[in-house]
Amino acid sequence: MAGGPRDGAPRDGAAPHEYRVVGREQVYQGRVIELVRDTVAMPGGGDSVREVVHHPGAVAVVALDEQDRVVLLRQYRHPVGGYLWELPAGLRDTDGEPPAQTARRELAEEVRLAAERWSLLTTTYSTPGFCDELVLVYLAEGLSDTEVPEGFTLEHEELDMQVERVPLAEAVQRVLDGDIRNAAAVIGLLAAAQARATGARLRPVEAT
């Protein structure tokens, strides 16, 4: 899967640690996620059991138009029993597809948009206490209309989606008001606003 490192493997040159997986039991294998029960040797002695959800990872897109408006989606999310305002986003569940390409595809599929300029805004572990899901949030600028990719059809909750363009400053205020609660949207919108305000250096689209 395309999530974070496992079995104590360091990432991006980070120093190795003393936690070791000494046993693993698969509890559940679903369509998207896998649940395992790891027995982990602790650096101070003894071991502990950790239940871990393995996830393929995801992408999200802060798509900004020439009027500095961001594209938002309102979608029903069954686990929370209600609608959430979100960014165009999707799972990294296509084998071999680079995450930046997944982001381009999701932007076309969900809101029929393409972008001339792409940057990587943030990479974030959504719930590292029990899940290795890594979400890459991209900034897409220079928007234009495009066709839905061949073979794609909206289904299930996607049929009920509402799409809006909202000024970035208004979207940030909606985050602070508690109206936008999706984690990738909160992080992406605040990061985009900061980058706009300060001219912060962003990573190239190919970065991970």
Residues in the chain: 208
Mean pLDDT by 10 residues, the chain (208 residues): 45 70 97 96 93 98 98 96 97 94 95 97 96 98 90 72 96 98 98 97 94
Domain that holds residue 140: 58-204
**Burial letters 22-50, b for 16+ CB under 10 A, else e:** eeeeeeeeeeeeebbebebbeeeeeeeee
43 and 144 in one domain?
no
pLDDT value, residue 18: 85
How many domains, the chain?
2
163 and 94 in one domain?
yes
CA 155 from chain centre, in angstroms, equals: 20
Catalytic residue flag (residue 158): yes
pLDDT value, residue 59: 98
CA 107 from chain centre, in angstroms, equals: 13
144 and 188 in one domain?
yes
Distance CA 44, CA 41 (A): 9
C-beta separation of 62 from 70 below 8 A? yes
66 and 45 in one domain?
no
Residue in 66, 109, 158, 164 annotated catalytic: 158
pLDDT value, residue 13: 55
Assessment of whether the complete model's pTM goes beyond 0.85: yes
152 and 65 in one domain?
yes
pLDDT value, residue 147: 87
42 and 82 in one domain?
no
Helix (H) or strand (E) holding 103: helix 99-111
Among candidate residues 139, 114, 134, the one with its CA nearest the CA of residue 123: 134
pLDDT value, residue 12: 56
73 and 3 in one domain?
no
The CATH number that applies at residue 110 is 3.90.79.10
